[in-house]
Structures are given as C-alpha cells and as structure tokens.
A and B are shown apart, each in its own frame.
Chain A
Amino acid sequence: MLELKKLDSGYDFLQVLWDVSLTVEDGEFIALIGPNGSGKSTTLRTIAGLIKPMSGDILFNGESIKNKPPHIISRMGISYVSEALNLFTDMSVQENLMLGAYAVKEKETQLNTLDYIYELFPRLKERKDQLAGTMSGGERKMLAIARGMMSNPTLMLVDEPSLGLQPNLTYDVFAALLKLVKQGVTILLVEQNVNATLDITDRAYILEQGKIVMSGLSRDMKANEHVRNAYLGI
C-alpha cells in the first residue's frame, strides 16, 4: 500500500532522513519508533506532503505521491494526525469534524461517519458545540484523531497520540486505533510509549538518527536485546 524508497528528506539545508525505506501492506498496523529527533515526525510529514523529499520516492498504491501537494495526498486517502494537532481552534467540535470530511462529496456519507465517530468518542458528542480551542488536551487529541477519520482514509499516519495524555486516556486512544485497524484501515503509528505500541502493532521499524536501523515483527522486537535496552529500559 505504502512504500518509501531510499527517501532523503529534511528542512532547507538540514537533512534529517537518510535513505529511509519502508513498506506498509494493506490492513497492517505498523509502528515507527525511535528516540527524540530521530526523524519520525519528519517521515510522516514527508509522506503527508508537508515537506518535499530531497530524493527517493514515495509510492501509495503503486503511484508516486512525492510531488503531490498535501491536499491531494489527503484526498487520495492518507490522513495525517499531526503531533501539533492543527485543529481549527475558533470553530466548534462539530465544525472541525465536518471539515475533516471536506473532501467527501456525499452529505450522507459525511453524516454516517459523524454518527459513527460520535459513537466511538461519546465525549466529543457531549461537546459538539464547544470551541476546539477551549477543550482539554486529551479531548483535543481525540478530536484530532476523530477529524482524521472523518475522511474515511485507507491509511492513517498518527503522530504521538499519547503525548501528554493520562494513562487511561492513552488506553482509550489505542483502543480506538485498534478498532480502526479491525475495520480495515491501515495505520502507521509513531509513538514514544514503545511497550504498549509493540503490544498492539503487527510490525515495527526503528529509526535512529534519520536511518532505519531495524525492522521486524513487533513481538520479535520486544524480545530483541537492543530494543529492550534502549527503549524498554529492561
């Protein structure tokens, strides 16, 4: 479904990613883990089209998307839930969600997805008329993920959903992601919470200093010496 081929990327003169290759198959739940500043967010931003890659290629369902603008990539079915959330703070929760379905043509589909989202996140339904900017950190995170789902994406790139969340909320978020995967959505997840991430994902890539240093099945990773030392603190 998604394939990065020898991707180099970064900001202006500062190259962050070096020769990154990874593949995500249909329906997989993939984790991308690594220390701070290793380029995980840059990878997602590059796929989403917010950063233009320096070289290499990005294939989505066999088609190169490396030179496509972000809104086209989004309309092709890739939804990026950024770390900064990028919510529309002066709009209500419902307006934010409806904008998430901006590219969806049929009104009926939009409303069906909205109902489903409200079922999944009842808290958002309670707050549907509240301004996004006035919500708590956890609620905003929920809203960002929910907004990302509104376009019925086939691939979701989720950046640090647990950052700054209480453990029980983190659990909710992960549960929601798992539910999505069960419905056939493919997810590429960037996470700091390595232990929990390796528990729920199928496969994982480890990114260190802008390079992929390791990849494999998540449960194998959990047993790996390097991962245990560096990320699990065991």
Chain B
Amino acid sequence: MTNETSAAPMTTVNFMTWVKDNLPVVVVSVFSIILFVLVGLKGGAPQVFNVLVTGGMWALLATGLALVFGVMNIPHFAHGESFMVGAYVAYFTFTPINKFFLTTGSKFLIYSGPILAIIAAGLAGCVLGIIIERIIFAPLRHRTKEGWVMNAFLLTVGLSFILVNGTTLTLGPNFRGIPRYFDVPSLEFMGAFIAVDRIVATVIALITIGSLWFFLRQTKTGRAIRAVSQDETGAQLVGIDLDFIQTLTFSLATGTAAISGASLLFMFQAYPTVGLTPLYFAWYVVMLVGLGNVAGAIVGGFIVALLQSATQLFIGLSWQSVVPTVVMILVLILAPSGIFGSEVKGVQEQ
C-alpha cells in the first residue's frame, strides 16, 4: 500500500477496495474513533485518562496471552491468576517497606516503595511462570501433542482453580489493599485531577510493553521466540532449544501479568478471585484482534478499555461487563479469527 500511495494519489476505486478488503479493521477503527470522541465529550479528561490506564493494562495482559498462544499454542485461562499473584506480592512487599520508611522518614525512600513492590511482583511472576511451565506443560508436551490446544486449555483451567483456591486456603478470602501507592496530591490536568498512581500505572504499562516489544524485535533471544511461533521445526533446526524458549515465554507472560496486577493494586486490591475480571478483558482483547497477534493485542487493549468506559458512561456501571461481552460475541460470529485476521497456527484446530 505504501508504494501505491507514494507513486500516485490514491483513487476512490483504490480506496474502496482497500476498505472492502479490511472491512473489520475499518469498522472497528471508525467505531472506536466515534466512541473516543463521545467518551471525551461526556467524561472529559478523567475518562480519557481512565481509558489510557485500563487500556494500557489490558494491552499488557493481552500481550502475554497472545505470546503464550502464539509460541506455545496454549489458550491461557489462568492468566488472571498471574495478575492476582502480582497484586499479593506487591501488597506484601509494599506494606512493610512503606511502614518502615514512614517511621524512618526519608521522602525519597518512601517513593521507592511502590517501584520495589512492582519489581518484586514481576520477578515473583517470572519464577512462578517457570515453575508452572516445568511442572504442568512440559510433562504434557513431552507425553503427547495430540489435541494439544484443548488439553492445554483445560490444564490452565485446572491451574486457575488450584491457584485461586490455594490462595484462599493460605491467605483467606479477605481483601488486602492499599489506599494509594504515592501519598501525594493529585495532579491537575486540563481542569481535572488525576491521581499520581494512575499516571505511574500507565507509564509502567507503556514501559513494560515497550521493553517487551524491543526484546522480541531486537534481541537474539526475542527473535528466537518469534521464530518458534512461526515455525517450530525450523527453530529446532537452527539450534533453538524449544524447551528453553517455551519456559522463557511462559515466564515472561506470567511476569508481565504480575506487573500489571502489582501496578493496579490501588485500584483492584488483592484477593483470591481478583484475576477474573482482568482475565475476561484480556480475552476480549485477544479475541478481538485474533489469538496470538502480539502487535494487535496492544491496539486491542485500548479499544476494549474504550468500550468499557463508554458502557459505564452511557449505559451504567453494572453493565460494564455485559456490553463488551455481547460485542465480543458479535466479533466471534462475524470475524472468528479477529479483526486483523491473524493466521496463527492452531487457530482452527481442535
């Protein structure tokens, strides 16, 4: 397309065929722009910022889902539990550190508390990912690849069950939360007050996505991950250790989900089933853009957040999960492989 546009001005006929070929993308883009304008008009800057915060987080979660599906062919149902683990680790790291620093009193140290908590959550997530991959998926992978997608999916369902109830068992069902990470006044932005926590969460989401993107595109190991997602046999033939790449991928996905759980601790709190809502929304995103489409997941995160915000503004808070669900059902009916029509292996398999 780029060549055509630079060589000669695009004619209407040209444009129409392009629209026709990319109908789902066009429809969704137009729809999103209209929604964005409406949300902006009605909700103003706070709502727009809300879309950015949640969108960034859904994008981060969905990237992990897309990566795990693309590389390992696992439809990951326990992704929300990585979010949950991140929230808990952040809580248990942040609370004592904060208490300690509050008594000792250095301002700078107080501000480092949240960052330490989020880093700790990310590391814990990575370790958890390695453990899970080694004890659950590696044995199944080595035993049989038959009916892999479905079996792996059911395994993640069982895993989610274990993690949620194991947490209830050890930590109890009660909420553990913090009022805020940064005890500073909100910043004024275009007449609206926006909490610093939200700004930090957005920045962290963008940095994490950015680093992940850089890692996948520009490093040798990142290229190996993409190679495995494109051709497993080819990857083995050039000397890539599949087991290593798959464990790494799973660990990365779990780690990034834990980071999002940690940086949203002030919004969601930590409790055993906290991961369910993020899981829904991350799944909406990957279903919208096509399973396994990492780049699409980033865009999709913001679209879904927008849809959520719009529902909340125009229909009512309690419909926040119903309307996006119905939209996703429509997407599944009209474009089952997502609006970008991803051609990831295994999509139409059992």
A/B: CB atoms within 8 Å of each other: yes
Q: List 18 A-B contacts (CB under 8 A).
A: A50-B233, A69-B236, A70-B237, A71-B240, A74-B239, A79-B237, A80-B237, A84-B233, A86-B231, A89-B231, A91-B223, A91-B230, A99-B223, A99-B238, A99-B240, A102-B240, A150-B238, A151-B238
A69 to B233, CA, bound (A): 12
Q: CB < 8 Å: which of B233, B235, B240 contacts A82?
A: B233
A79 to B240, CA, bound (A): 13
- B227 near A91 with CB under 8 A, answer yes
- Chain B, residues 215-234, CB within 8 Å of chain A (1/0): the string is 00000100110110011011
Q: Which residues of A contact B242 (CB under 8 A)?
A: 69, 71
User: In the complex where A88-B231, A89-B231 touch, is A102 in contact with B239 (Cβ < 8 A)?
Assistant: yes
Please tell me if B241 contacts chain A, counting CB pairs below 8 Å: yes
Beyond A69-B241, A98-B223, 8 additional contacts (C-beta under 8 Å) are A50-B233, A74-B238, A82-B233, A99-B235, A101-B238, A103-B239, A147-B238, A148-B237
A148 to B240, CA, bound (A): 13
A103 to B238, CA, bound (A): 7
A101 to B234, CA, bound (A): 13
A69 to B220, CA, bound (A): 21
Please tell me if A19 contacts chain B, counting CB pairs below 8 Å: no
A148 to B223, CA, bound (A): 17
Q: Which residues of A contact B235 (CB under 8 A)?
A: 88, 99
**B-side interface mostly:** helix
Please tell me if A90 contacts chain B, counting CB pairs below 8 Å: yes
Q: Which residues of B contact A103 (CB under 8 A)?
A: 238-239
For window 286-302 of chain B, which residues contact chain A by CB distance below 8 Å? none
* Distance between B242 CB and nearest chain A CB, rounded to angstroms: 7
* Distance between B157 CB and nearest chain A CB, rounded to angstroms: 29
- B230 near A88 with CB under 8 A, answer yes
User: A-B contact count, CB below 8 Å?
Assistant: 70
Please tell me if A75 contacts chain B, counting CB pairs below 8 Å: yes
Q: Shortest 8 CB-CB distances between A and B: which pairs?
A: A86-B234, A103-B239, A70-B236, A74-B239, A88-B230, A75-B239, A86-B233, A71-B241
- A88 near B227 with CB under 8 A, answer yes
* Distance between B193 CB and nearest chain A CB, rounded to angstroms: 45
A99 to B236, CA, bound (A): 11
* Distance between B60 CB and nearest chain A CB, rounded to angstroms: 22
Q: Which residues of A contact B238 (CB under 8 A)?
A: 74, 99-103, 147, 150-151
A85 to B241, CA, bound (A): 19
Q: Which residues of B contact A69 (CB under 8 A)?
A: 236, 241-242
* Distance between A39 CB and nearest chain B CB, rounded to angstroms: 19
User: In the complex where A71-B242, A151-B238 touch, is A99 in contact with B233 (Cβ < 8 A)?
Assistant: no
- Chain A, residues 41-56, CB within 8 Å of chain B (1/0): the string is 0000000111000000
A91 to B224, CA, bound (A): 11
* Distance between A147 CB and nearest chain B CB, rounded to angstroms: 7
Binding site for A on B (CB under 8 A): 220, 223-224, 226-227, 230-231, 233-242
Residue of B nearest to A89 (CB): B230
Q: Which residues of B contact A227 (CB under 8 A)?
A: none
* Distance between B340 CB and nearest chain A CB, rounded to angstroms: 13
* Distance between A161 CB and nearest chain B CB, rounded to angstroms: 15
- B227 near A74 with CB under 8 A, answer no
A40 to B238, CA, bound (A): 21
Please tell me if A95 contacts chain B, counting CB pairs below 8 Å: yes
- B234 near A87 with CB under 8 A, answer yes
For window 56-77 of chain A, which residues contact chain B by CB distance below 8 Å? 69-71, 74-75
Q: Which residues of B contact A90 (CB under 8 A)?
A: 226, 230
- B236 near A102 with CB under 8 A, answer no
Q: Which residues of B contact A88 (CB under 8 A)?
A: 226-227, 230-231, 234-235
- B239 near A87 with CB under 8 A, answer no
- A99 near B241 with CB under 8 A, answer no
A207 to B322, CA, bound (A): 63
Q: Which residues of A contact B226 (CB under 8 A)?
A: 88, 90-91
A173 to B234, CA, bound (A): 20
A85 to B238, CA, bound (A): 12
- B237 near A82 with CB under 8 A, answer yes
A131 to B234, CA, bound (A): 16
* Distance between B102 CB and nearest chain A CB, rounded to angstroms: 49
- Chain B CB within 10 A, most for which of A70, A79, A89: A70
Q: Which residues of A contact B233 (CB under 8 A)?
A: 50, 70, 82, 84, 86
- A71 near B231 with CB under 8 A, answer no
* Distance between B82 CB and nearest chain A CB, rounded to angstroms: 27
Q: Which residues of A contact B236 (CB under 8 A)?
A: 49-50, 69-71, 74
